[in-house]
Amino acid sequence: MADERTRGFSKGFSERPIQTLNSITRAADSEALTLAADPYMVMLINKSNWVATHIKNENGTLTDLRPPIGRTCGLGSCRECSDRQQFVPLLTTSCDSRAFNIALRVRHPNGTIGDTTFVTIHPDCRYAGEVICMDIPDPT
């Protein structure tokens, strides 16, 4: 059952494609980022052992994720996880914002730290938000 943060959310984004993060690059240090707090929600499904610790903008600026986001879904495709609402809020912005790119700073339990590839967020006032699915393999 959806809690107050996600109630009715699936109606607003189910038609939108789910973007999948499946690779990382090594991390570099950056500063904090402030995001708007308006009605377009970006949700994260984490199907991996990696933990998302920060959001990174195009300039390399970081903002902490508190708490960090670990696995939210273990079984099924990203779409199946989304249909079961096994996602958590990642960020909120205004639905009329211009498109922007973000990446996630991630940490593996073995100590490896890296950044996902960038994805483009396309705020759209016809939807409540969108979903990003993180499905990164374990490091070898």
Do residues 59 and 70 touch, judged by C-beta distance below 8 A? no
Choosing among 2.60.40, 1.10.357, 1.10.1060, 1.10.520, the CATH entry for 9-134 is 2.60.40
pLDDT in tens, the chain (140 residues): 333 333 333 334 445 555 655 555 545 444 444 444 357 999 999 999 999 999 999 999 999 999 999 999 999 999 999 999 999 999 999 999 999 999 999 999 999 999 999 999 999 988 889 999 999 999 98
- Bridge partners of 137, per DSSP, are none
* The dihedral formed by the CA atoms of 86, 89, 119 and 80, expressed in degrees to the nearest 10: 10
